Amino acid sequence: MTGPASTDPASTDPASTDRATRIRYVTADGARRYAADLRHPVARVITAGERRAVRRAVAAAHRRSSGDGGTHVAFRDMVWLDVAAGSGKLVDAGLPPRRIAVDVSAAMLAEDRSGHPAVVGDARALPFADGAVDVVVVLRLLHRCSDEMVRAVVAEGLRVARHGVVISDVRPTPSWRARARRVLGRSPAPIGRSRSRLTRLVADSGGLVAADLPTVPLLSSGRVALITSTESRFRVTKPLLNH
């Protein structure tokens, strides 16, 4: 009998890894299950840590934007894209209310009851103009994707966002792996990438890691990074939302 398919980005071909991630939650059943799983007590703790880390990263992007000539806005007025938004985990994260959800799965977006605008779209080709929003957030997508996908999504985020791209990744250090093995009684799934590898991929995409925050240090190997552009691009475009 064979075990479950490996999710190690290095062990399968990149296109099929990314395709598997893309179609994982396309059905209504899959989307409902994902939303229900987030209500588990352990998931709630991890979600709280993720929300806190994303909030801090977006606040850091906002602080940095004060140097960006005419594009600085008040924190509450920032427009941001929640890319790979899923069922709307970030709706109650204390982030600015001008949120647009983007996900490749319409079924996932249907689980998001926030009433925020939602667009079916691919993180590698966002249907928005250059510099259309203040920040792009991509939570819980890239740790299951190939290096090519990370490069493409980061570059696309930097194209669309004036002040930075916030992504999550998973950084299973040897000590975290050992702890997880003790708790799970088996080796944790080999997903994620090292800080140096992520930094290299981000640099390939024209970005740099400006902040790097743990989500729930003892429970999870998740991290949230703020990526800013290495180019100085002060673009002013029309606001997308006026509510």
Ligand X SMILES: C[S@@+](CC[C@H](N)C(=O)[O-])C[C@H]1O[C@@H](n2cnc3c(N)ncnc32)[C@H](O)[C@@H]1O
Cα distance between residue 173 and residue 193, in whole Å:
9
Burial 161-199 (b: 16+ CB within 10 A, else e): bbbbbbbbbbbbeeebeeebeeeeeeebbebbbeeeebb
Cβ closest to ligand X, residue 23 vs residue 178: 23
Residue nearest to ligand X as judged by C-beta position: 86
Compute the least distance from the CB of residue 5 to ligand X, in Å. Answer: 16
Closer by beta carbon to ligand X, 148 or else 204? 148
Least distance (Å) between residue 87 CB and ligand X:
6
For residues 73 and 165, which CB has a smaller minimum distance to ligand X in the complex?
165
Residues that bind ligand X (CB under 6 A): 21-22, 25, 84-86, 89, 103-105, 108, 122-124, 139-141
Q: In angstroms, how far is CA 11 from the centroid of its own chain?
A: 22
Smallest gap from Cβ 66 to ligand X, in A, equals 28
Nearest to 161 by CA among 86, 71, 34: 71
Q: How far apart are CA 196 and CA 3, in angstroms?
A: 30
Q: Locate 141 and state its tokens.
A: 């997508």
Q: Give the nearer residue to ligand X in terms of CB position, either 73 or 107.
A: 107
Measured from the CB of residue 89, what is the shortest distance to ligand X in angstroms?
Answer: 4
Joined tokens for residue 133:
């929003």
The nearer residue to ligand X, 53 or 73, going by C-beta atoms, is: 53
Mapped onto helix, strand or coil, the DSSP state of residue 141 is: coil
Q: Is 150 exposed, middle or buried (0-12, 13-18, 19+ CB in 10 A)?
A: buried
CB of 124 to ligand X, least distance (A): 6
Smaller CB separation from ligand X, 25 or 80: 25
User: 1: which residues sit within 8 A by CB, 6+ positions away?
Assistant: none
Work out how close the CB of 69 gets to ligand X at its nearest, in angstroms, rounded to a whole number.
31
